[in-house]
Chain A
Amino acid sequence: GAVVSQHPSRVICKSGTSVKIECRSLDFQATTMFWYRQFPKQSLMLMATSNEGSKATYEQGVEKDKFLINHASLTLSTLTVTSAHPEDSSFYICSARPGARGYNSPLHFGNGTRLTVT
C-alpha cells in the first residue's frame, strides 16, 4: 500500500527558531500534499494544500509567511515553521494522494510531527 513518511516525529525547539518538517511519498508520486494541524482534543484542521511546482494554497486564518511550504518534487513537501512560538506547539501531519487517482482512492497520512516550542 501507499506509504507516506514524515520526519522528524518529534522536535523541541526554542522560541524564535525555525523548524522544518518533511513529508515524503515513498512509493508513489504525489502532485498534491496536504498539511494538517491538531491541537489536543481537537479535530485535525487543514492548514494548506501543497502543489508540486507551484505555490501552496492556504486555508483562511493560516499565515503563509509563518508556515512556509515547498513542494519541489513529486515525492517531497516541506513545512517550515518560522520564528516558532509556544502557541505553535502542536501535532503536524501531512497527507498525500497518488497523482493519477480520483476521489475513490483513500488519502494516506504520515505519522505526524509533535512540535514543542519552549
Chain B
Amino acid sequence: KQEVTQIPAALSVPEGENLVLNCSFTDSAIYNLQWFRQDPGKGLTSLLLIQSSQREQTSGRLNASLDKSSGRSTLYIAASQPGDSATYLCAVIRSNYKLTFGKGTLLTVNP
C-alpha cells in the first residue's frame, strides 16, 4: 500500500527566506507526482506536476524535484512571501489517475 509522508508538518519562516518542503513515498511505481497548495477551507491549486521520467520542474519561485528510486520529492520555494502561507500537499499518481496524498505541510511566512 502506497504511503506518502510530508515533513515537516508545519513550518514558520520570516519573509524572504528560501525553504524546502519534503515528501517521501513508499512505492516507487508511480506515474507522476503533483504538488498542490490548499488555502484554509478551500480547494486545491495545482502547483507543479513532475512526470516519473523527469527529475525536476520549475515555475516561477517554485522548484520541485523527484528522485523516484529513493521515493523522495522536494518543493523549493525561493524568496518566500506572506502570500505563500498555505498548506502544501504532495500527491503521487497511481494507475487509473488515483492520487495518494500526504497530510501536508502548513507553511506560515511572517512579514
Within 8 A of B (CB), among A1-36: 6, 32, 34, 36
Q: A97-B97, A104-B32 are in contact. Are A112 and B46 (CB under 8 A)?
A: no
- Secondary structure at the A interface, as helix, strand, loop or mixed, is strand
Instruction: Pick the residue among A32, A34, A41, A112 that contacts B43 (CB under 8 A).
Output: A112
B44 within 8 A of A: yes
CB neighbours (8 Å) of B45 from chain A are 109
Interface size class of A (residues with CB under 8 A): 20 to 34
Q: Bound complex: CA of A46 vs CA of B4, how far in Å?
A: 14
Contact B98 A49 (CB under 8 A): yes
CB neighbours (8 Å) of B104 from chain A are 43
A93 within 8 A of B: yes
B60 within 8 A of A: no
B72 within 8 A of A: no
Within 8 A of A (CB), among B1-48: 4, 31-32, 34, 36, 41-46
Contact A107 B43 (CB under 8 A): no
Within 8 A of B (CB), among A59-118: 91, 93, 95, 97, 103-112, 114
Question: In angstroms, how far is the closest chain A Cβ from the Cβ of B48?
Answer: 8
Contact A34 B89 (CB under 8 A): no
B88 within 8 A of A: no
CB neighbours (8 Å) of B89 from chain A are 44
Closest chain B residue, CB of each to CB of A114: B41
A42 within 8 A of B: yes
CB within 8 Å of B: which residues of A? 6, 32, 34, 36, 41-46, 49, 91, 93, 95, 97, 103-112, 114
Given A46-B100, A109-B44; 11 other pairs, CB 8 A cutoff = A41-B103, A42-B103, A44-B89, A44-B91, A95-B44, A97-B97, A103-B31, A103-B51, A107-B97, A112-B41, A112-B43
CB within 8 Å of A: which residues of B? 4, 31-32, 34, 36, 41-46, 49, 51, 89, 91, 93, 96-104
13 A-B contacts (beta carbon < 8 Å): A34-B99, A36-B101, A43-B102, A44-B101, A91-B41, A93-B44, A97-B97, A103-B32, A104-B32, A106-B46, A107-B46, A109-B43, A111-B43
